[in-house]
Amino acid sequence: MDCGVPDCAPCISCNDGIQNGNETGVDCGGDCAPCISCNDGIQNGNETGVDCGGPDCAPCISCNDGIQNGNETGVDCGGPDCAPCISCNDGIQNGNETGVDCGGPDCAPCISCNDGIQNGNETGVDCGGADCLPCSPETCSYTLLNSNNFENSLGIWIDGGTDCLWPNRYYSFSNSGIYNVLLRDNTSSSVLTTSNLDLSGAEEIRIDFTYITAFFSNSNDDFWLQLSTDGGSTYSLVEEWNYGDEFQNEVRKFESLVIPGPFSANTRLRFRCDASDDFDFLFLDDVSIQVCTPSARASAGGTQNGGMSITEVALFPNPVEEQLTVSFYLPEEAGVETVVTDITGRRLLERQAACTAGWQEMKIDVGSLASGVYFIHLKAGGERVSRRFVVAR
């Protein structure tokens, strides 16, 4: 009424398929229902959020609605708007994984066959189980040849001269006690060497030590462990440790190396600093040498020469904070004496146990021990087996 025809205003029609009257869109806006707009910054029409949702706009982004929507790559995760999806099989280290598809609170532990600890499904330290190489069918029963924390003397070790300092005033770099051996620079005196050792009967030796460095700054700075079987006339390289690769300044490291024979009656071991100047400091402490002779190597499955054989000895966790688990195999019933010593041989913990034949597991409370390097000795039937462990807190 009163609309249309040439002399009146156009009639309002919100369903004629034409933008007319005061409509702001075709059949919408003005006197008609609001026009649908997915970019006007207002929740209107049948939107379920501001400019999103409903049948006309893009889905609203929600990272907690329990639905995979928007540009999520999983339910409430992934894409540019939500947190990354946790995936333990995508071939990428993401989320809180500590390795590719492993580690962290959500994925299985990472498999490591070279971390010096028995973990995962390993049956020995870095061996056995489904993922690592099989453990050797033989175990070597080491006997302690020498250990020194340098509190009282250098013992079997020989001071190289000007660039080998013992005692020194850098007490804070000691691991146990207050003294250590300082090597610096790269001169003929930057060495710490044993006297001649008669290792002619040894099949292999194991050397354990701890070290920490200060003020190394050149990527070419390193230090070496060397071996001589001719009384020190010539040396061969056993291992080297490089700054920026194997170590950083002021970060303590614990090392354990097995050196295969043959050896001689004039065997020497030598630490050598290969740094840049007098202010590159290498501090050595708690050095021990253990020896395995052919008579001390026994089959993992039984006895040798009809005697008792303690085999498959494993310590875990190692390093340890409070409780050390010791597992081993006994071929027959026996009384087992367990002794924990420091590297000077001082007896700290002792216990006796009557064990039946088969696999054994002991729990040793080491909470009373200070941080440092220790040895556990198992004795049964006249045989003694020693293993090294570290208390770290």
Beta strand 323-330 pairing with 311-316: antiparallel
Tokens of 96: 């809180």
In sequence order, what are the beta bridge partners of 213? 282
Tokens of 3: 């609309």
CA distance 109 to 129: 14
pLDDT band at 240; cut points 50, 70, 90:
very high
Q: For the residues 377-387, what does the mean pLDDT come to?
A: 83
Tokens of 75: 């339910």
- Residue tagged 């494993």 (tokens): 314
Q: If one looks up domain 143-292 in CATH, what number appears?
A: 2.60.120.260
Residue 140, pLDDT score: 65
Name the DSSP class of 232.
T
Residue 138, pLDDT score: 52
| Whether the predicted pLDDT of 295 surpasses 80 | no
Percent of the chain residues past pLDDT 90, beyond the cut = 40
In sequence order, what are the beta bridge partners of 258? 206
pLDDT tens digits for range 123-166: 766 677 766 666 654 556 678 899 999 999 999 999 999 999 99
Residue 170, pLDDT score: 96
106 or 253, greater pLDDT: 253
* Prior bond of 55 cis (ω within 30°): no
Q: For residue 119, which amino acid is it? A: N
Residue 228, pLDDT score: 97
- Do the beta carbons of residue 34 and residue 27 sit within 8 Å? no
CA distance 21 to 9: 8
Across 9-18, 110-119, 274-283, the highest mean pLDDT is recorded for 274-283
Q: If one looks up domain 298-391 in CATH, what number appears?
A: 2.60.40.2550
| Whether the predicted pLDDT of 286 surpasses 50 | yes
Backbone angles phi, psi at 192, to 5 degrees: -130, 120
Looking from the CA of 365 toward its CB, the CA atoms found within 13 Å total 3
- Residue 245: which residues within 8 A CB-CB, separation 6 or more? none
| Whether the predicted pLDDT of 231 surpasses 70 | yes
Q: For the residues 283-312, what does the mean pLDDT come to?
A: 67
pTM: 0.51
Residue 4, pLDDT score: 63
- Do the beta carbons of residue 192 and residue 160 sit within 8 Å? yes
Per-domain boundaries in the chain: 143-292, 298-391
| Whether the predicted pLDDT of 111 surpasses 70 | no
| Whether the predicted pLDDT of 304 surpasses 50 | no
pLDDT band at 305; cut points 50, 70, 90:
very low
Helix (H) or strand (E) holding 372: strand 372-380
Q: For the residues 69-76, what does the mean pLDDT come to?
A: 77
Tokens of 50: 């501001």
- Residue 1: which residues within 8 A CB-CB, separation 6 or more? none
Residue 72, pLDDT score: 80
